[in-house]
Structure 1
């Protein structure tokens, strides 16, 4: 039982990891971009995690972790911020590669505005609940940042992919929050959230997951483009040298 959280991480990432080598996907070529993207983003979310654990927003059931702790977080929780985002980015990469998920620009614009406004209003109403307030405010901030500051063209596509990812999300988070178990792996303090759950999953987790995915994609896509531009420049120089 102490390996349960570790196994959840493993089975969350193993299929995307193996399919990275599929000849039509070749996502392994983008591992470097993902790795560098994971450094700043994982640090931010791990710091968030450490603070919330310290203030009792949640804690971790010793029955389901190996007992290796870093910064008072179980090793499995650290790995969560690598394994789950890897699977999310891989899924986005595949859907973006093989399907046209682009939104109408006006629809994307108004969705971002109303979604962010909803989150800000909800955060204000429930400002006494730490997990709810921070998650809603930070998710709204990330959405506005991407759409109106960074001006990304993939915001709607990312939301569509996340809607698909909600299916495995309910499986993974369901296990971590106690579905099918005697006790949850991650124990939430309901005084710091809305107390609204989908099965055993706090509703805030769905927004947290979206924010995590969007943050990773912001760094990953920018690094991926730089790598592609660098490869094109290298090929151009190689061809030019051959012609000389």
Structure 2
């Protein structure tokens, strides 16, 4: 099955462009194989595929948490692969991240966890002491209201349910004021009701803020319901790229069941 991997007509409004991206780990495992994609402004893109397909490696390569071994990644006109030091920090500041296991400081209050999204805008010493401005604190309160957590602002993070903690993770990413939001399996550990809530809030804030978002999902039904575009990855390669309505049962069977 061939992949649709480039959309030249959309390059003019591209937020992210990948060309021939590969990732080979030191043990010889090739996690990504020649991935070429263009992601345009405002898209909510879902990445699907079986466990071990390379989805998380792909996601972590976009902000250089992993450094690919070949290819190019251009984010808003900047060469991510060549970025170093201050330039790389500035790129990462414009890329928000929502994690599968929330990555919250459990004993800290909810609003304080959200404020950590502002650390990239603060001097290192000031940030290490958690000296956030009144303006940033008010932003944290506002973002928590947007994700329906106004009644939980002063609770410790470990007092919240899993779905609520993930919404804190979304709020933390949003207060960062990114132009690209990455979410790596954000609903993997949640029940169906909480998953629905989290995906609704994620899509809502992305649409309201005009964000581009890339979301790794195991749940194909949620990908079809919430994404504008679905990309299927298998064995490190893109094997499907299209609208949710184009994702047929045959393609799903090929992605998950056929070797």
**TM-score with structure 2 setting the length:** 0.26
Give the number of the structure whose alpha-carbon radius of gyration is greater: 1
Structure showing the higher helix proportion among its residues? 1
